[in-house]
Amino acid sequence: MKLQRAMTNREVWMKASTILAEHGEMTADYIIDQLGDVLGNDTAVEDWRRVAAAVDAITGADTHGSN
């Protein structure tokens, strides 16, 4: 099995920006699909978690449930 290096912070934010530009409102669905493809790879799962967090930060999503 090929080891994957973790993405840099810059790579995470660039990927998040690109995904948002390409998928808009469907970004969450795209990320969920990608997670399904990488579940056996801890590094890839962590990278996608970071990408999702970056997407939330870019879009100003309320991640704490407060109003």
Q: What is the pTM of this model?
A: 0.72
Supply the pLDDT for residue 65: 54
The rounded distance, in Å, linking the Cα atoms of 38 and 12 is 16
Confidence tier at 27 by pLDDT (50, 70, 90): very high
**Does residue 50 contact residue 7 with C-beta atoms inside 8 Å?**
yes
Q: Tell which wins on pLDDT, 37 or 20.
A: 20
